[in-house]
Amino acid sequence: MTTTPDVQSQGNAQSPDSENLVEVKDLKMYFPVSSGLLFQRTVANIKAVDGVTFNIKRGETLGLVGESGCGKTTTGRCILQLYNPTEGSITFDGKEMVGLGSRQLRAMRREMQVIFQDPYSSLNPRMTAGNIIGEPLVVHGLVDSKAEYKERVADLLQNVGLNPYMADRFPHEFSGGQRQRIGVARALSVSPKFIVADEPVSALDVSIQAQIVNLLEDLQDEFNLTYLFIAHDLSVVRHISDRVGVMYLGHIVEMADRNEIYVNPSHPYTKALLSAVPIPDPVIDAQRERVLLTGEVPSPLNPPSGCVFHPRCPIATDDCAQVTPELREVETGHWSACIRADGYGAY
């Protein structure tokens, strides 16, 4: 098969000015299941993320989609070092992060922030909006005086489309969309380079979703941010992402440019996901071809052999239960992990 020259496989020397901001290599995150009352021993592993490799370029938005339990959130949290990965390497700006001590990590965390899904549980109800946004400034020692602190908080509120006088209000006084804006302002407060947005619009009404998506896009232009955008809504992901990765049961099964993956999906799971998205037009929706998947996602405790998707796959062959397909480039910039994909080659 054909592979374009691969920078990383030629050595680990990554300069901080390489075009990739984040490089994830063969990431595995297993959560142990233990049993026994006194002598706890590990009886099994939940393979939440099982060998994932990808890069995020500077200034781009990488979308990660998949059903619940596919490991997309775990991947995001591993990059932020909120979990200690079982295996693999994660570099940020050329620096390896796995195995760093907490002090070194804290310095790194100034560069990377997160926006959570649920704007209700991710804000401390006893803190004012101003303090929620300002706390990171104090923790990282980014302001010298009270006046500067206030000015910075007011600026941040304005950046996300809220009024500075709202700094004294508590979270319950805001609507869902406004709370999510506070979450965005908190992430921006330390001037990060990279933001993991974990389902930032899923809990919001459609009319408000579009407001937040536009806000995220504006902020990206203004502050030159790089996003990892995790979501299960494929239409939103296509809108905001430059490239899209599709995850299934701890693996990335397909990754490509946003237009390529929607126009020319290569993996049967991607095709099924796309066809399941309803189109708000009864005439067009009725004409679409539907790939209805049977069954449900298997348990990550005991994933199927070979290709993890083969029990639900409409085009699976006997080989699929034997061969674990790796992610290969089937077309320039288009990666797929299906042995039956066009251009996949021999396995």
Task: Single out the residue of 14, 262, 303, 323 in contact with another protein (rule: CB under 8 A).
Answer: 262
Mask for 202-221, x = binds another protein (CB under 8 A) = ---xxxxxxx-xx--x----
Helices 129-139 and 176-188: angle between axes, nearest 10 degrees: 20
Extract the tokens encoding 226. 């790089």
273 in contact with another protein (CB under 8 A): yes
- Distance, in Å, from the CA atom of 275 to the CA atom of 290, rounded to the nearest integer, reads 5
Residue nearer to another protein on the CB measure, 184 or 272: 272
119 in contact with another protein (CB under 8 A): no
Q: Which residues are CB-contacts of 171 (< 8 A; sequence separation ≥ 6)?
A: 120, 123, 124, 125, 127, 129, 132, 179, 182
Give the amino acid at 29. M
Q: For residues 120 and 179, is the Cβ–Cβ distance under 8 A?
A: yes
4 in contact with another protein (CB under 8 A): yes
Q: Which of these ranges, 18-26, 112-120, 192-200, 221-229, lies near another protein under the rule CB under 8 A?
A: 18-26
3-state secondary structure of 188: helix
Task: Single out the residue of 156, 226, 329, 344 in contact with another protein (rule: CB under 8 A).
Answer: 329
Task: Single out the residue of 236, 247, 249, 308 in contact with another protein (rule: CB under 8 A).
Answer: 236
Q: Which of 83, 75, 68 is nearest to 27 (CA)?
A: 75
239 in contact with another protein (CB under 8 A): yes
38 in contact with another protein (CB under 8 A): no
Residues 41-60 interacting with another protein (rule: CB under 8 A): 53-55, 57
5 in contact with another protein (CB under 8 A): yes
Q: For residues 268 and 310, is the Cβ–Cβ distance under 8 A?
A: no
Q: Which of these ranges, 72-80, 188-196, 234-242, 303-311, lies near another protein under the rule CB under 8 A?
A: 234-242
Residue nearer to another protein on the CB measure, 116 or 309: 309
90 in contact with another protein (CB under 8 A): no
Give the amino acid at 211. Q
Secondary structure (H, E, C), 214-275: HHHHHHHHHHCCEEEEEECCHHHHHHHCCEEEEEECCEEEEEEEHHHHHHCCCCHHHHHHHH
- Distance, in Å, from the CA atom of 284 to the CA atom of 17, rounded to the nearest integer, reads 47
Mask for 290-309, x = binds another protein (CB under 8 A) = x-xx--xx------------
Task: Single out the residue of 168, 173, 222, 326 in contact with another protein (rule: CB under 8 A).
Answer: 326
20 in contact with another protein (CB under 8 A): yes
222 in contact with another protein (CB under 8 A): no
Task: Single out the residue of 156, 187, 196, 234 in contact with another protein (rule: CB under 8 A).
Answer: 234
89 in contact with another protein (CB under 8 A): no
63 in contact with another protein (CB under 8 A): no
User: What are the DSSP E strand ranges found in the chain?
Assistant: 20-35, 41-57, 61-65, 87-92, 95-96, 112-115, 194-198, 226-231, 243-248, 251-257, 328-331, 334-336
